[in-house]
Amino acid sequence: MTVSRMLRSVLMMAPALIAALGIAAAPAAAAPPPAGTGTPVLHFNADGSTSIEGTIESGHPVHIDFDPARLPDCRGTDEYGDSWGISVHYRIDGGEVRAYPVTERVTAGGKDSTIRGLATVQLRPDTRHLQMWFVAEDRAGCHEEDTDHGATYRFDIAQPPVLARATYHADWSETLTGTLRKGGALVINYDPARLPQCRTTYRGYPAWAIAAFYRFDGGPVQSTTVNQGAEVIPVRIDIPANAQKIETWFAISNYHAQCSAYDSDYGRNYTFSIN
pLDDT of residue 37 exceeding 90: no
Residue range 161-182, pLDDT digits in tens:
778 999 999 999 999 999 999 9
Domain that holds residue 182: 164-273
Q: Which residue has the higher pLDDT, 81 or 161?
A: 81
First vs last C-alpha separation in the chain: 56
Of the candidates 156, 184, 215, which is a domain's last residue? 156
Q: Do 25 and 140 fall into the same domain?
A: yes
Q: Do 37 and 140 fall into the same domain?
A: yes
Mean pLDDT of 39-60: 93
CB 101 within 8 Å of CB 26: yes
Mention every residue, 6+ apart, whose C-beta is less than 8 A from residue 6.
none
Q: Do 249 and 187 fall into the same domain?
A: yes
Q: Using CA atoms, how far apart are residues 93 and 30, in angstroms rounded to an integer?
A: 30
Q: What are phi and psi for residue 245, nearest 5 degrees?
A: -155, 160
Q: Do 224 and 106 fall into the same domain?
A: no
pLDDT of residue 260 exceeding 50: yes
Q: Do 28 and 128 fall into the same domain?
A: yes
Question: Number of structural domains, the chain?
Answer: 2
Looking at every residue in the chain, the average pLDDT score rounds to: 85
Residue range 244-254, pLDDT digits in tens:
999 999 999 99
H/E run at residue 205: strand 205-206
pLDDT of residue 34 exceeding 50: no
Q: Using CA atoms, how far apart are residues 87 and 102, in angstroms rounded to an integer?
A: 5
Q: Do 11 and 112 fall into the same domain?
A: yes
Q: Do 131 and 199 fall into the same domain?
A: no
Length in residues, the chain? 275
Q: Can you give the CATH number for the domain in which 212 is found? A: 2.60.40
Of the candidates 101, 134, 156, which is a domain's last residue? 156
Which of these, 86, 99, 131, 129, lies nearest to 23 by C-alpha position? 99
Q: Do 135 and 214 fall into the same domain?
A: no
Mean pLDDT of 27-36: 42
Mention every residue, 6+ apart, whose C-beta is less than 8 A from residue 220.
none
Q: Do 145 and 245 fall into the same domain?
A: no
Q: Do 70 and 145 fall into the same domain?
A: yes
Q: Using CA atoms, how far apart are residues 270 and 272, in angstroms rounded to an integer?
A: 7
pLDDT of residue 274 exceeding 70: yes
**Range with the lowest mean pLDDT among 22-31, 156-165, 258-267?**
22-31
pLDDT of residue 6 exceeding 70: no
Helix intervals (H) in the chain: 3-17
> Looking at residue 69, what is its pLDDT?
96
> Looking at residue 19, what is its pLDDT?
32
pLDDT of residue 25 exceeding 70: no
**Range with the lowest mean pLDDT among 9-23, 114-128, 225-239, 257-271?**
9-23
Of the candidates 140, 156, 172, which is a domain's last residue? 156
Confidence at 68, pLDDT banded by 50, 70, 90: very high
Strand partners, 262: 251
**Range with the lowest mean pLDDT among 12-16, 75-79, 127-131, 248-252?**
12-16
Number of Cβ within 10 Å of residue 39's Cβ equals 14
Q: Do 152 and 202 fall into the same domain?
A: no
Residue range 143-165, pLDDT digits in tens:
999 999 999 999 999 887 778 99
Q: Do 152 and 168 fall into the same domain?
A: no
What is the DSSP secondary structure assignment for residue 59, as one 8-state letter? T
